[in-house]
């Protein structure tokens, strides 16, 4: 989606485990947004951009409402 930018980062958990996460954030930075976090036991490369398109398709209403997807 052209209104989102993708950022990737590792998030460190309390036990020291680092989880790779992709964030899809609205490009409009003039306001704050709620975030919807989804974790799976699969790596983020499984499905690549097709997985992102499927993910955004499922949550299209939330994306349109301005949620950050992670």
Tell me the C-alpha distance between 26 and 15, whole Å. 31
pTM: 0.62
Name the DSSP letter for residue 38: -
Tell me the C-alpha distance between 56 and 1, whole Å. 8
Digit-coded pLDDT (tens) for 9-34: 898 999 999 988 888 888 888 999 99
């Amino acid at each position: 989606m052209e209104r989102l930018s993708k950022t990737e980062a590792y998030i460190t958990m309390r036990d020291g485990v680092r989880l790779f996460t992709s964030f899809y954030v609205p490009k409009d930075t003039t306001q704050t947004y709620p975030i919807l976090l989804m974790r799976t036991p699969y790596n983020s490369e499984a499905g690549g951009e097709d997985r992102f398109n499927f993910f955004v398709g499922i949550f299209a209403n939330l994306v349109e409402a301005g949620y950050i997807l992670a």
